[in-house]
Structure 1
Amino acid sequence: MPLLTSETTLVLWHETIKNAEIRCSISLTQELETYLISLLIRYTDRPEVAQQIFAKTFLEAMQQRERQRNACLQNVGDQCLLYAGLFPRQAQKKHVKINYFVDLGRSAYATISNTANDIYWSLALQFVTLMDVLQSIRETPDLMPLEAYDQWNELGSQRALSCLLGYTRGVPVKK
């Protein structure tokens, strides 16, 4: 992994995301890349994210007025993306599949989307791709074969397919 030498948080996260994109052969749009970098900057010093029950927060947000609801749902989407991308092992500790975070995050972003062309719609559609980039921040594949198969088969994760192909010469078949 190349040594990151930048002094600012923005440049450091930008270099990290660019390297992760290269590692997993994904090229994000400028808009999604910028959003992902700003997301990482916003949550760098917020360890309390791990203490939340996302489904409960999602349901509570739906009871709020539009502006408050949208802010809460954006936070749910952002936190689910961080969880699925940076802390996929935490799903096991919470006794849920990674799909829980993906489905909830996609739903949160889609709910606050105003059109099929806004950033939230893009985040909902590209959630797994963004998850793949975040998971690629680590150089070593941390997915076990069955996890890789599940993420590829159920979510369409290209990074998971790449990990899976690293374990076997066979071609996986979707259920």
Structure 2
Amino acid sequence: MLLSEKTPYVSAEISLFEKLVGAGEDKSRITLPLQLHGFLVACLVEHLRDTRILSRVLAVNLLRSTELRGRRASVLLKRAGDEALLLAGLYPERALRLHVSSTYFRHVGQTAYGSLAARLQSTGMRESGKFYDHVAENFCSLEKVLNGARAEPSGPWEAWRRMLASLQ
């Protein structure tokens, strides 16, 4: 575990998601680089109370970002990438309900993070741009770790739905 549970400066949410990401790494047999591990924990904490993530149209923020400039566009791109990552990793069966390919979330997320990287690099924020480029390149690994962190199916119907989602 990267963060000590005893440290008063570590919130309960961070400690919980640290364990969740660690379990996902173990189950998926993927060891994320430290930066990506921390990014995934921060992403989970940031969207902890976002109850509308399952009902929003994913590509809207991606499309809106093309109309805006500066920080607002960057925020929308990051939000689109984060939401796509969480949906791809934690709720892949959502693609079945939306009648889209299971790779839809992955493509939207990689596009959002890649666009954010290009935008940051073009505005002189090279290190941040390189980081989000790294996130886009490793999107599949991040997705697999989140998928590994999911609880075991509670019954045959849920196992069947998960299997269908993974085949699409």
Deviation at 1:139, TM superposition (A): 4.5
**C-alpha separation between the residues in 1 aligned to 2:90 and 2:37?**
16
After superposition, the C-alpha distances for 1:94-119 in whole angstroms (9 at most, x for unaligned) are 11112111001100000111259722
Deviation at 1:147, TM superposition (A): 4.3
Verify: 1:137 aligned to 2:163, yes or no: no
Query: Which of 93, 106, 119 is 1:102 aligned to?
Result: 106
Query: Which of 36, 39, 56 is 1:35 aligned to?
Result: 39
SS in 2 for 1:82: helix
**C-alpha separation between the residues in 2 aligned to 1:78 and 1:108?**
9
Percent identity at matched positions? 26
After superposition, the C-alpha distances for 1:143-169 in whole angstroms (9 at most, x for unaligned) are 31x64444xxxxxxxxxxxxxxxxxxx
- Aligned pairs for 1:10-29 within 5 A: 10-29=14-33
**C-alpha separation between the residues in 1 aligned to 2:32 and 2:147?**
14
The residue type paired with residue 95 of structure 2 is: A
Corresponding residue of 1:58: 62
**C-alpha separation between the residues in 2 aligned to 1:99 and 1:91?**
8
SS in 2 for 1:37: helix
Deviation at 1:25, TM superposition (A): 0.5
Q: What TM-score comes out, normalization by structure 1 length?
A: 0.76
Aligned CA RMSD, in angstroms, stands at 2.1
Larger RCO: 1 or 2 (CA < 8 Å, sep 6+): 2
**C-alpha separation between the residues in 2 aligned to 1:99 and 1:130?**
14
Runs of 5+ consecutive residues of structure 2 not aligned to the other structure = 154-158
**C-alpha separation between the residues in 1 aligned to 2:108 and 2:78?**
11
Verify: 1:90 aligned to 2:116, yes or no: no
Compared with structure 1, are the counterparts of its residues 45 and 25 closer, same or farther at alpha carbon in structure 2 (3 Å cutoff)? same
The answer on whether the counterparts of 2:20 and 2:149 sit within 8 Å (CA) in structure 1 is yes
**C-alpha separation between the residues in 1 aligned to 2:13 and 2:165?**
32
SS in 2 for 1:28: coil
Deviation at 1:131, TM superposition (A): 0.5
Give the number of equivalent residue pairs: 145
The answer on whether the counterparts of 2:92 and 2:165 sit within 8 Å (CA) in structure 1 is no
SS in 2 for 1:49: coil
Q: What TM-score comes out, normalization by structure 2 length?
A: 0.79
**C-alpha separation between the residues in 2 aligned to 1:133 and 1:59?**
27
The answer on whether the counterparts of 2:93 and 2:165 sit within 8 Å (CA) in structure 1 is no
The residue type paired with residue 103 of structure 2 is: N
